[in-house]
Amino acid sequence: MKISIFGLGYVGAVTAACLARDGHEVIGVDVNPEKVDLIAKGESPIVEPGLSQLLVDGVAANLITATTDTEAAVLASDVSLISVGTPPIERGEPDLTYVWNVCKQIAKASIHKTESHVVVLRSTVPPGTLEKCQNLIDSITGNNSIHLAFNPEFLREGSAIKDYDQPPYTIIGTESPVAEAAVRQMYATVDAPFTVVKPSVAEMVKYVANCWHAAKVGFANEIGRVAKAFGVDGREVMNIIVQDTKLNISPVYMRPGFAYGGSCLPKDLSALLYYARNMDVPVPLLNALPTTNSLQVDLAAQQVLRLGARKIAILGLAFKPGTDDLRESPAVLLVKRLIGEGCQIKIYDQAVYEARLMGTNLTYIQNNLPHFEELLVAEAEQALKDAELVIVTHANPEFRQILQEALKEIQVLDLASVFTEPIEELNYCGIAW
């Protein structure tokens, strides 16, 4: 197939690379010329395991190109994927401006086509959005020559390619047989069952999935706090709970640790809360999730102050290991809080140190830690030098090795369960065990 992809962020870049690997011709489209230039040269604009090689291979095989020219991309493709951002605005409502803009551009370009065109929306949007996209496009084209589907993605940063290849299912939200057939053909090599539903159902599934993930993180962290108050290791409790795969569904996220973050869970939970408020639907559990998540960061900061350390090494700044995404990272919020308390901070995170930060990722870190480059160090030894306390935010095997070789007089605050049980040789503690 010939596929144009609008938006070359995490979802767009990974999708482009995987589709090209599977034999499709892909045209990446973005308003950011730097991203377009990187993709066109086969270079990754983000840190994601395995992505760089797929892009190199795709460009070498002439299956991946990139442009800022919307019309050219639409005219040269049969299917257009929309994977632009839907960032939160004032009260948590998602900003759909980029979605509307791309729909208008695709519609105007498609007027010059003689054959029909398929548009697949991948961005996370509230129920009813695809219908509005259809109405907007039809108002421009004056006909029904464009067929739409909503196809939510379930890609986790740090394991996105594996998740692309092994999804639990492929959801197609559409009432168009033409759009359904196109999506089925696009993912013909992906081994996963297809679930075809109304667009609004598929749109809601994406929000519910991310809100459930956020709920599991918050629940496990609260259990960890209560368990510790009883002198019980919360990890041992939750390890037993998640063995029940009949009722407890899945062990993913169900473990005490640090707060959730990233570009999806906070944003999508905020959006769902916004719509619940607007429709007067009471959701006390969901309303409590941001509070309990923020409390996990507060408790970490309070523990640092109780320990009396002022020179601190942070291992891990991104919201999770294996990525350079700093958006809504609890580690960023913790560092910001500790700097405000007068602490001296050095940060070791190799992915962030080596990354080419851009777009909303760069804007976020500049707004929260304007001089973050001065805090980052290239080697773990630089961070640990003269440190009174090491804070671990990622359960990273590299960090485990670093701590085992560290000076024994350094205190360790483990927020991510980098060790499954306390290490007697280390001055070690956590906030949920």
**320 has binding-site annotation:** yes
pLDDT at position 422 is: 67
pLDDT at position 97 is: 97
**75 has binding-site annotation:** no
**142 has binding-site annotation:** no
**336 has binding-site annotation:** no
pTM metric for this prediction = 0.81
79 within 8 A of 121, measured Cβ to Cβ: no
**342 has binding-site annotation:** no
**191 has binding-site annotation:** no
**244 has binding-site annotation:** no
**327 has binding-site annotation:** yes
Note if 264 is an active site residue: yes
Give how far Cα 178 sits from Cα of 20, 104, 429, Å: 22, 21, 57
User: Across the chain, which distance is largest between two alpha carbons, in Å?
Assistant: 73
Tell me the CATH number for domain 292-430: 3.40.50.720
* Packing angle of the helix pair 97-110, 129-141 (nearest 10 deg): 30
Q: Which amino acid is at 215?
A: A
How many Cα neighbours within 13 Å face the side chain of 65? 14
Q: Which CATH architecture has domain 2-197?
A: 3-Layer(aba) Sandwich (3.40)
The DSSP-derived string for 207-272 is HHHHHHHHHHHHHHHHHHHHHHHTT--HHHHHHHHTT-TTTS---TT-S--S---SSSHHHHHHHH
| Distance in angstroms (rounded) separating the CA atoms of residues 7 and 10 | 9
User: What are the strands, taking DSSP E only, across 113-238?
Assistant: 117-121, 146-150, 170-173, 194-197
**87 has binding-site annotation:** no
Neighbours of 354 (CB within 10 A): 11
Same fold, 2-197 and 292-430: yes
Question: Hey, where are the domains in the chain?
Answer: 2-197, 198-251, 292-430
- 344's enclosing H/E stretch is strand 344-348
Query: What residues in the chain have per-residue pLDDT under 70?
Result: 247-251, 253-254, 407, 422-423, 425
Q: Active site residue: 103, 133, 264, 343, which one?
A: 264
Can you read off the two tokens belonging to residue 235?
């990890």
88 beta partners: 94
**157 has binding-site annotation:** yes
| Distance in angstroms (rounded) separating the CA atoms of residues 261 and 249 | 22
**204 has binding-site annotation:** no
